[in-house]
Structure 1
Amino acid sequence: MPYRVLADGIAVTHLIFLLYVMFGGFVAWRWPRTIALHVCAVAWGLASVLVGFDCPLTHAENWARHRAGEAGLPPAGFIDHYLTGVVYPESALGPVRVLVAVCVLVSWVGLWRRLRRVSYVASGVTRQ
């Protein structure tokens, strides 16, 4: 029982990480100092997609599930098991990846504009 709870907690943590990759740039609109953490999370997510290495959270969940006497995640991993075919159709994987990239870029451009506007206001420069 404790290993199953641990595995479920790891799965929730994994989902939160994925949501942070997608929306963390918007979090930085409120707390700009978090942008470095978001850049690292995006770099990790991008590298895992491009290079194809396994996430340590997937390994941790598999370990806990095996200890609980359950089957682990399939070799495809967390996203393919919990999201693809469940939250969005398998045929939409490419567009979903593009949507995530667009969301990240929009959040970063928005943050850049907000910070630029704040620096204008702080310096006393006004637009004419």
Structure 2
Amino acid sequence: MGYRIAGQAVMVVHFAVLIYLAVGGFLAWRWPKAWFAHLAMACWGLLAIAFPVVCPLTHLENEFRAKAGEAGLNPGGFIDTYIENVVYPEDSTVLVRWLVVAVVAVSWAGTLHLVLRRRRAREHVTAPS
């Protein structure tokens, strides 16, 4: 029972990581230092798409499910198991990936804009008259 719950907990964390990957850049609008964590997550996402690497969370969930006597994730991993053909059709994968890239780009552009605006405001306040 414990391994089953652990596997489900990893699944929930994995969903949270994917949500953070897609929209976490917007947190930097409020907390600019959060951008660095999002950059790391975005780099991992690109790596996972470009190369056949197994996500550590996928590996962990498979381990827990195996110890619980359950089947592991599909060979394609977390997204193939829980997202494709559930949230969106499999033939829309490329479109969805580009939409995520666009959302991330907008969040980063907004972060850059806000950081520069705050910097200019500080310089304006501290500039001698």
* Fold agreement, TM-score > 0.5: yes
CA distance in 1 between counterparts of 2:14 and 2:52 reads 17
> Which position in structure 2 is the counterpart of 1:2?
2
- Output aligned runs, 1:39-78, within 5 Å: 39-78=39-78
CA distance in 2 between counterparts of 1:40 and 1:107 reads 15
- Flag structure 2 segments of 5+ consecutive residues without an equivalent: none
CA distance in 2 between counterparts of 1:114 and 1:38 reads 16
Q: TM-score, normalised by structure 1?
A: 0.95
> Which position in structure 1 is the counterpart of 2:79?
79
Does 1:113 pair with 2:121?
no
Task: Kindly state the Cα deviation for residue 24 of structure 1 after the two structures are TM-superposed.
Answer: 1.1
> Which position in structure 1 is the counterpart of 2:15?
15
- Report runs of 4+ in structure 1 exceeding 6 Å deviation: none
CA distance in 2 between counterparts of 1:45 and 1:66 reads 25
Identity value in percent: 44
How many residues align structurally?
Answer: 125
CA distance in 1 between counterparts of 2:100 and 2:50 reads 14
CA distance in 2 between counterparts of 1:6 and 1:79 reads 19
CA distance in 2 between counterparts of 1:18 and 1:84 reads 13
Q: TM-score, normalised by structure 2?
A: 0.94
Task: Kindly state the Cα deviation for residue 108 of structure 1 after the two structures are TM-superposed.
Answer: 0.2
> Which position in structure 2 is the counterpart of 1:36?
36
CA distance in 2 between counterparts of 1:69 and 1:89 reads 29
> Which position in structure 1 is the counterpart of 2:96?
96
Task: Kindly state the Cα deviation for residue 120 of structure 1 after the two structures are TM-superposed.
Answer: 1.2
Task: Kindly state the Cα deviation for residue 82 of structure 1 after the two structures are TM-superposed.
Answer: 0.1
Task: Kindly state the Cα deviation for residue 52 of structure 1 after the two structures are TM-superposed.
Answer: 1.8
Q: How big is each residue's C-alpha offset from its partner over 1:42-91, in whole Å with a ceiling of 9 and x where there is no partner?
A: 00110010012110100100000011110000111000100000001111
The CA RMSD measured in Å over matched residues stands at: 0.9
AA partner of residue 4 (structure 2):
R
AA partner of residue 110 (structure 2):
G
